[in-house]
Amino acid sequence: MKIKFTYLIISGLIALLAIPSRNTMEDIEILTTNTEYVAGKTIVLKFSTTNDEKTSLYLSNSYGTTIIKPIIDSDFLNFKIPELLSNKTGVVHWKLLSKESLSGKFYIRPEQKTETIETYLGPPSIGAGGSDFSMLVVIPTDIYDNPLADSTKITVKHQFLENQINDIIIMKNRIAYKNIYSEKKIGRILVSSECLELNSKESTLNVMPGIPTDFSISFQRNHEYSDGNQITTFSTSIIKDTYGNIVSDGTFVNFFITNTLKNILKTSGTTVNGIAVAKMIHPDHKENWSVKAFIEGMAESNVIELSYKSIISDFEVRFTENNRTITVGPLKSFMNQMVPDGLEVLLSVYDGNQILKILSKNSSKGFTTFNLDNNTFPSKSYTLKIKTAKIEKTFPNTKL
């Protein structure tokens, strides 16, 4: 009996404890059935309740999470979703922070009305030829800066030369994109886009020339004499790429000049309207040049040959003041005129076979004068060699 009585009491207590807990569980349930909203519209989640318990609602979307308090309306709990969340598209998860948790989610989709269009185009310049491209990314957004829904149609328009092309692309994963390929001509492609009757601003895409092709070169000079005082100008033909476009201004062209001694001289030019011009000073002695130009790794020119005639076949040397003053000249040019100032004259002083000093002077008014002072060259016999325009004269055993 005793055992039965105890059992009764215990089971009675259990029943008493169990009843109210079941009651609260049944108390709260969601009344709102809508699970899809439009961004910017007021969203209220309604729950039924029987007691006055102030349960909070935990909300989470891709921007973050928050907890809100309800507005109690007799038997209902109304949760007004804050604008911060209701203006953003995407899934919102909610969870009621009551003893027995209740959770769910709803979806906010954008309003299908374009407010702004974000466009990105890059790179801003591409090469001609049809293989290079630039990508246009379009993101139409609604008034709350939400990208429009996937599958929204966007018209991408681009203009190049006479052509104007419209393409329809479809939004996927909240963006839409299009690769815009270059054509064979250079120029400027203007790109814009349209979505639900709203047009974007204009973007610019420059199509630059491609790889240059072989070209020819020519030269121009005032005369054919090697007076060291004129400029020979080399120029290229108009350099074009594979598609016939003139290469971009500033393209660097290297001119290599191989001279009689097989030494490689060098000049360079950059193109303006496809033509590169390089300059070189005339040699000061008889010379044959063969010239070839390169755009390294990409293009080259034909070889042209130039020859320069000597202007001086012979010159006079006068010794005065105990051979210490040496006057070279008159140095006469091709019409027997005096050579222009600046022709280099070299005087090498040898003691026997040993070179003591090389004196270098530029001619002035057709003459060059060397003074050998007795500080540097004590009285003695020296061998003197005088060289100009690659013509050398030797004066052995000159007594100073």
Using CB under 8 A as the criterion, which residues of the chain lie in contact with other proteins when the complex forms?
120-125, 127, 131-132, 203, 208-209, 211-212, 229-231, 247-254, 256, 258-259, 262-272, 277-281, 283, 292, 294-298, 300, 340-342, 361-364, 373, 375-376
CB of 107 to other proteins, least distance (A): 32
CB of 46 to other proteins, least distance (A): 44
CB burial of residue 285 (10 Å; 0-12, 13-18, 19+): buried
The residues near 126 (Cβ < 8 Å, ≥ 6 apart) are 132, 133, 134, 182, 205, 206, 207, 208
Nearer to other proteins, 51 or 222 (CB): 222
CB of 212 to other proteins, least distance (A): 7
Nearer to other proteins, 74 or 263 (CB): 263
Question: DSSP labels for 29-63?
Answer: EE-----EEETTS--EEEEE-SS-----EEEEETT
CB of 291 to other proteins, least distance (A): 10
235 φ, ψ (degrees, to nearest 5): -140, 155
Tokens 């971009």 locate to 248
CB of 154 to other proteins, least distance (A): 20
Q: How far apart are CA 304 and CA 227, in angstroms?
A: 21
Nearer to other proteins, 110 or 210 (CB): 210
Nearer to other proteins, 20 or 250 (CB): 250
Q: Check residue 298 and report its DSSP letter.
A: T
Nearer to other proteins, 81 or 278 (CB): 278
CB of 263 to other proteins, least distance (A): 4
At 64, which amino acid appears? G
Q: How far apart are CA 201 and CA 211, in angstroms?
A: 32
Nearer to other proteins, 330 or 340 (CB): 340
Q: How far apart are CA 395 and CA 392, in angstroms?
A: 10
Nearer to other proteins, 110 or 366 (CB): 366
Nearer to other proteins, 81 or 191 (CB): 191
**Residue 320, beta-bridge partner list:** 325
CB of 48 to other proteins, least distance (A): 51
Q: How far apart are CA 157 and CA 276, in angstroms?
A: 37
Q: How far apart are CA 294 and CA 396, in angstroms?
A: 48
Q: How many residues does the chain have?
A: 400
Count CA atoms within 13 Å of residue 356 on its CB side: 15
CB of 305 to other proteins, least distance (A): 15
